[in-house]
Each structure stands twice: as C-alpha cells, then as structure tokens.
Amino acid sequence: MNRLIGGILMAIGILVAGASGICSLTFLWGMARGDSNELLPLVALFGGLPFLSGIVFIAGGTAMLRRERRRDHRDSAKYFE
C-alpha cells in the first residue's frame, strides 16, 4: 500500500511542479523579452510556491518508496536465512 501512495505522491508532485514550472518560465520569458518586471513577485508567489510543494511531494513519495524497498529487502533476507 505504501508503494501505491508513494507513487501517487510522486505523480502529483511531477504534475504540479511541471505545470507551475512551465507557467512560471513562460511569464519569466515574457519579462526577459522586455515587458515590465512588475509581475516578478506574483510569479514567485503563484508559481514558486506550487513548484516547491511539488518538489516536496516528489521527495516524500521517493522517501516512501525507498523505505518500502529497504523493508522488502530486509524481509527477504530473513526469509533466506
């Protein structure tokens, strides 16, 4: 069950971080082309926070999967002793 939850967390994190990252890059690209820099705090707030939360979801899902793999390896080692 932990593998499923870890995989779901990673998928949600990838989707959230990817979507907000692409959106933020689009706005930053527009600002770099000469538009005003007035939107930079909004991009950081509305794009940066979801991006960071997506990274946290990815890290949490990865940690859950690694913990489960270690547990499976430890259980299989006990089985063969």
Radius of gyration of the chain (CA): 19
Please report the pLDDT score of residue 79 as a whole number: 63
Identify which has the larger pLDDT, 75 or 81: 75
Please report the pLDDT score of residue 81 as a whole number: 60
The residue ranges of every structural domain in the chain are 2-79
65 close to 11: Cβ distance less than 8 angstroms? no
Mean pLDDT of 10-26: 93
Q: Is the pLDDT of residue 35 over 70?
A: no
Identify which has the larger pLDDT, 17 or 38: 17
Q: C-alpha dihedral over 74, 76, 79, 81, to 10 degrees?
A: -70
SS3 of 29-48: the string is HHHHCCCCHHHHHHHHHHHH
